[in-house]
Amino acid sequence: MYDVLIVGGGVVGCAAARALSAYRVNVCLAEAADDVAFGASRANSAIVHAGYDCEPGTNMARLNVAGNAMFDELCAQLDVPLRRVGSLVLAFSQDDLAALQRLYDNGIKNGVPGVRLLTAEETHAMQPGLSDKVTGSLYAPTGAITCPYELTCALCSNARENGVRFLMGSPVTDVRTAGDHLTVTAGEEQIETRFLVNAAGIHADEVSALCGDESFSIRARKGEYVLFDRAASGFAKMVLFQAPTAMGKGVLVAPTVDGNAYIGPTAVDQTDKDDTSVRPEAIDELTATASLSVPQLPLRSPITLFAGVRAVPSTGDFIVKRSEKNPHLIQAAGICSPGLSSAPAIAKEVVELLGEAGLVLEEKADWQPLRRRPKRFRHMSPQEKAEAIRRDPAYGRIICRCETIPEAEIVEAIREIPGVPSVDAVKRRTRAGMGRCQGGFCMPRVMELIEREAGIPMEEITKNGGASRICVGVSREEGQA
Amino acid sequence: MRHVQVAVIGGGPAGLAAALKAKEAGAESVLILERDKKPGGILQQCIHNGFGLHYFGQELTGPEYAQRFVDRLEGTGIELKCDSMVLEVTQERRITAVSAADGLMEIQADAVVLAMGCRERTRGALLIPGDRPAGVFTAGCAQRLVNMEACLPGRRVVILGSGDIGLIMARRMVWEGAQVLMVCELMPYSSGLNRNIVQCLQDNDIPLYFNTTVTNIHGRERVEGVTVAQVDPATRKPIPETARYVECDTLLLSVGLIPENELTQTTGALMDRVTNGAQVDELRQTTAPGIFACGNVLHVHDLVDNVSREAEIAGEAAARFALGQVKNGKTRAVTVSGGVRYAVPQRVNEDCEKLELYYRVGSAYKPAVVRVYAGETLVKQQRKQIMTPGEMEKISVQLEPGLSDIRVHVEQA
């Protein structure tokens, strides 16, 4: 019998798992996919929002501002990149300036630190290369960037180290109440648990309905992005929003913690919750809107397109509460933007809600909040590199040339993956294959290492779990070369 | 810090030929740093025939061609370090590299030859929308999987781009029992060699569609199909009415090669925006003194034979530079006009008397006339039955001493 079963291995589920791992409670996390960070957590804007955007008084406003403040400690503990680059909301007209004033007022009400309005001159001085049509901006120094899938993987890894069980490839298909607990079918397993935390992202309404709570629904809204080559990405130093207008929320131009820049997202409502394809027209839509902010986009240097699906709740606000229909159910549902920013605060609140529901929360004396792992090779000084290779020669074998990822880090990642290792699961944890060759050189090497470390034959290795096999069989002329 | 006279970065065909020639030209210590497990570069996975006709006068496979050079290393004293990745080269020719065996290496070289080769353009660079399933490969990656990892990348294949690796892989996949449905080429001509179109496509009844591209990729986990559409030859934009769905499980991309010049850029050497390689003189010296470049890192070649020849020029010059025999004086610029896209070298030392210019045209000319001028003076004129962007051209000219610019010009004859 588990005390808590968390359904969903996105950033919210993993943050809740890690937060609960500090207490003497028995926790399991069930995820439908073969890896964590498989839904919206792997494809979003990677921004820790300051928190002026949300309506005062909402869960979104409260959890965003609280979550933002928790990021420095969290990222330091988990060795996840966080850069407080600051954000600007750009105005292009008199009407836009009025919109900025409203956002500023929201910011003050929401308790966002340091937020202020800038003139056009101040704006251009802060971020060169902006359109000369920019008439002013709203500056938020606490706006930050991080890496959402790296954070999710790190939360998972740290939670596992502290005793949380991760049950991968196990979609929840049935929930029954049995006296003082629930019996949950997750994949092949029947799990008995006192509480269920619903962090199932885009499918959270379905999980809630299985628990007898149909008080909300989740709509899918796709966001598409264009990511640029690092060499051409100097144009975005800060997170650049556009003032919200009647026409929409505009498109972002922002840097990533890895030194790339992107434009996005679009906002496309769709009925298919799992459709992450990029529409052909998205590229022109994005470039047209983003070039209002930055006219000189490096349109000849893209490295990839991607899309994520946000879970938009019918209630218009994050649903973080104990269910009124099922006392065993704690909702962490409808977590669209600013979900990443709010995740640490949502996790904290989930723990509090469980406590209020009767879970005894006794702190572990031996909780290990630090993710203990070696410094990344690419960040080491020459002396540190020399030392690392002396300690483990696998640091001297560079597998991913574009991102300088040694074998040692790939092996470490393969061991860290909670489910069946795949090429993309390694990529999410190491960046191998994220560079300009997009895995053209290193994918076969990564496959060799997965075969060696995890014992999966080459022809059975997948790109990203499920049926995404990279090869369809063995070649006829095996071994000829 | 270690010291060598000539350090060669890359042990593919360019690096091997450069190192051998540098040694022959008198360099005492020559070191090759190769990132792969063994030398030979991309040739190791090119198990088909067709290499060496020009250089050796016979047809060899890729590994055989490479082996000839590897065999010649024996007894020369050239040091070859494999599994060694260079992280940085400075303008002062200081090299930082790592390997499992040697740890972190810091090397001061008197001369450096850059021979890192090239990489393939990817799906992302083309901005092909749609899903992101397994089954989309660059042709070279699929070639490695099938030839070196004994894995079959797919059974029903569409190929986008008619570069040579794509054409070779079309045939390779047919030999593996796969069905190659078509090769789509955005341009009205192929960027591959004519002999490959004949031997790889025509002999296997694989259709090649010009002015055609892939506009969408379908399939959540594995490729299930692609949308193929004709493009307007003037704008190269897809024509929506011509779009059709093609069921397949694999999309191979052979849409261009990009010189791997990340290390070159840390040396401060000036780049050529057309070749994506460094700007060099006739010795293949970049604008960073003592740093030379050759092979596909300098400009993309279609024949390895030309790579070897070019590398020998660079290797010999690097040795001479290390021995203090190269004097960098005034240079004359090489410019292009008419149908010429680029020419290598981009500049010539004033004392250069015999110049071999390599160049490519931007579209097909049939027949073509090529003229080379020194200043306003026509110094050479040639007529050619056909010139296409897929085949690199060469012209030799005798130069009178002087500093006037050299210009290569091609037009319809």
pLDDT per position in chain A (481 positions), as tens?
999 999 999 999 999 999 999 999 999 999 999 999 999 999 999 999 999 999 999 999 999 999 999 999 999 999 999 999 999 999 999 999 999 999 999 999 999 999 999 999 999 999 999 999 999 999 999 999 999 999 999 999 999 999 999 999 999 999 999 889 999 999 999 999 999 999 999 999 999 999 999 999 999 999 999 999 888 888 899 999 999 876 677 899 999 999 999 999 999 999 999 999 999 999 999 999 999 999 999 988 899 999 999 999 999 999 999 999 999 999 999 999 999 999 999 999 999 999 999 999 999 999 999 998 899 999 999 999 999 999 999 999 999 998 999 999 999 999 999 999 999 999 999 999 988 888 989 999 999 999 999 999 999 999 999 999 999 998 875 444 3
A261 occurs within a structural domain: yes
Task: Tell me, yes or no, whether A226 and A99 share the same domain.
Answer: yes
Classify strands B2-9 and A239-242 as parallel, antiparallel or unpaired: unpaired
A385/B contact by beta carbon, under 8 A: yes
Distance CA A395, CA B304 (A): 33
Contact status, residue B397 vs residue B355, Cβ threshold 8 Å? yes
Q: Do B98 and A385 touch (CB under 8 A)?
A: yes
Q: Could you read off the pLDDT of A161-203 as tens digits, one per residue?
A: 999 999 999 999 999 998 899 999 999 999 999 999 999 999 9
State the smallest CA–CA distance between residue B98 and chain A in angstroms.
5
Task: Tell me, yes or no, whether A121 and A240 share the same domain.
Answer: yes
Of A261, A284, A310, which closes a domain? A310
Contact status, residue B248 vs residue B223, Cβ threshold 8 Å? yes
Residue type, A356: E
Task: Tell me, yes or no, whether A301 and A405 share the same domain.
Answer: no
A120 occurs within a structural domain: yes
The rounded Cα B340 to chain-centroid distance in angstroms is 18
Concatenating the DSSP letter of every residue in A324-371 gives: SS-TTEEEEE---TTHHHHHHHHHHHHHHHHHHTT----B-TT---S-
Q: Which of A29, A27, A76, A71 is nearest to A49 (CA)?
A: A71
**Can you read off the two tokens belonging to residue A325?**
């229909």
**Can you read off the two tokens belonging to residue B147?**
């030839």
Burial A322-344 (b: 16+ CB within 10 A, else e): bbeebebbbbbbbbbbbbbbbbb
CA-based radius of gyration for chain B: 22
A200 occurs within a structural domain: no
Contact status, residue B110 vs residue B95, Cβ threshold 8 Å? no
Q: Do A481 and B154 touch (CB under 8 A)?
A: no
Task: Tell me, yes or no, whether A269 and A404 share the same domain.
Answer: no
Distance CA B238, CA B216 (A): 11
pTM of structure:
0.93
Task: Tell me, yes or no, whether A262 and A381 share the same domain.
Answer: no
A336 occurs within a structural domain: no
- For tokens 């990533």, the residue is A256
- To probe the interface with A, which of B127, B148, B172 has the most A CB atoms within 10 Å? B127
Looking at the partner chain, which of B47, B218, B222 has a beta carbon nearest the beta carbon of A480? Answer: B47
Angle at A327 between CA A325 and CA A333, to 5 degrees: 70
A246 occurs within a structural domain: yes
A302/B contact by beta carbon, under 8 A: yes
CA-based radius of gyration for chain A: 23
Q: Do B103 and A448 touch (CB under 8 A)?
A: no
Q: For helices A59-78 and A339-356, give the axis angle rounded to 10 degrees.
A: 100
Please, which residues 443-472 of chain A have a Cβ atom closer than 8 Å to chain B? 443-444, 447-448, 458-459, 462-464, 466-472
A99/B contact by beta carbon, under 8 A: no
In degrees and rounded to multiples of 5, residue A259 shows phi and psi of: 90, 5
Total number of domains constituting chain A: 2
Angle at B21 between CA B15 and CA B265, to 5 degrees: 40
Low-confidence ranges of chain B (pLDDT < 70): none
Task: Tell me, yes or no, whether A275 and A422 share the same domain.
Answer: no
CATH number at residue A299: 3.30.9.10
Q: Do B148 and A382 touch (CB under 8 A)?
A: no
Nearest residue in B to A440, CA atom: B141
A77 occurs within a structural domain: no
Neighbours of A11 (CB within 10 A): 34
- To probe the interface with A, which of B121, B131, B132, B218 has the most A CB atoms within 10 Å? B132
Q: Do A396 and B103 touch (CB under 8 A)?
A: yes
Task: Go through the domains of chain B in sequence order and give each one's CATH number.
Answer: 1-119+257-327 (3.50.50.60), 122-255 (3.50.50.60), 329-413 (2.60.40)
**Can you read off the two tokens belonging to residue B46?**
């090119």
Q: In chain A, how many H helices and how many E strands?
A: 12, 23
Q: Do A304 and B124 touch (CB under 8 A)?
A: yes
State the smallest CA–CA distance between residue A223 and chain B in angstroms.
13
The rounded Cα B164 to chain-centroid distance in angstroms is 11
A119/B contact by beta carbon, under 8 A: no
Residue type, A217: S
Looking at the partner chain, which of A436, A440, A479 has a beta carbon nearest the beta carbon of B150? Answer: A479
Task: Tell me, yes or no, whether A277 and A131 share the same domain.
Answer: yes
Nearest residue in B to A382, CA atom: B104
Contact status, residue B246 vs residue B158, Cβ threshold 8 Å? yes
Contacts of residue B54, defined as CB under 8 A and 6 or more positions apart, other chains included, come to B303, B305, B306
What's residue B83's pLDDT? 95
- In the three-class reduction of DSSP (H, G, I as helix; E, B as strand; rest coil), residue B18 is classed as helix
Nearest residue in A to B222, CA atom: A468
Distance CA B90, CA B142 (A): 34
DSSP B43: G
Looking at the partner chain, which of A277, A386, A437 has a beta carbon nearest the beta carbon of B122? Answer: A437
Contact status, residue B83 vs residue B35, Cβ threshold 8 Å? yes
Looking at the partner chain, which of B35, B141, B215 has a beta carbon nearest the beta carbon of A443? Answer: B141
- Cβ burial, residue B313 (10 Å; 0-12/13-18/19+): buried
Q: Do B47 and A306 touch (CB under 8 A)?
A: no
Contact status, residue A378 vs residue A345, Cβ threshold 8 Å? no
Structural domain boundaries enclosing A382: 377-460
**What sign results for the dihedral spanned by CA atoms A296, A301, A303, A306?**
positive
Task: Tell me, yes or no, whether A405 and A285 share the same domain.
Answer: no
A341/B contact by beta carbon, under 8 A: no
CA neighbours within 13 Å on the CB side: how many for B86? 30
- What length is written for chain B? 413
CATH number at residue A449: 1.10.10.1100
Distances in Å between the alpha carbon of A233 and those of A130, A236, A464, B163? 14, 7, 27, 29
- For tokens 């040396």, the residue is B267
Looking at the partner chain, which of B104, B218, B249 has a beta carbon nearest the beta carbon of A386? Answer: B104
Task: Tell me, yes or no, whether A269 and A409 share the same domain.
Answer: no
- In the three-class reduction of DSSP (H, G, I as helix; E, B as strand; rest coil), residue A47 is classed as strand
Q: Do B150 and A389 touch (CB under 8 A)?
A: no
Contact status, residue B257 vs residue B120, Cβ threshold 8 Å? yes
Looking at the partner chain, which of A280, A402, A459 has a beta carbon nearest the beta carbon of B216? Answer: A280
Q: Which residues of B touch A444 (CB under 8 A)?
A: 141, 144-145, 148-149
Strand partners, B216: B227
- To probe the interface with A, which of B43, B88, B138, B141 has the most A CB atoms within 10 Å? B141
Q: Which residues of B touch A462 (CB under 8 A)?
A: 134, 221
Distance CA B186, CA B207 (A): 14
Q: Do B145 and A279 touch (CB under 8 A)?
A: no
Q: Do B124 and A282 touch (CB under 8 A)?
A: no
The rounded Cα A74 to chain-centroid distance in angstroms is 14
- In the three-class reduction of DSSP (H, G, I as helix; E, B as strand; rest coil), residue A402 is classed as coil
State yes or no: is A379 an active-site residue.
no
Q: Could you read off the pLDDT of A245-269 as tens digits, one per residue?
A: 766 778 999 999 999 999 999 999 9
Burial A95-132 (b: 16+ CB within 10 A, else e): ebbebbeebbebbeebebeebebbebeebbeebebbee
Distance CA A396, CA A410 (A): 12
Classify strands B347-349 and B331-338 as parallel, antiparallel or unpaired: antiparallel
Q: Which residues of B touch A471 (CB under 8 A)?
A: 145, 151-154
A4 occurs within a structural domain: no
- Cβ burial, residue B340 (10 Å; 0-12/13-18/19+): buried
Distance CA A116, CA A138 (A): 6
Say how many CB pairs under 8 Å bridge A and B. Answer: 163
A269 occurs within a structural domain: yes
- In the three-class reduction of DSSP (H, G, I as helix; E, B as strand; rest coil), residue B280 is classed as coil
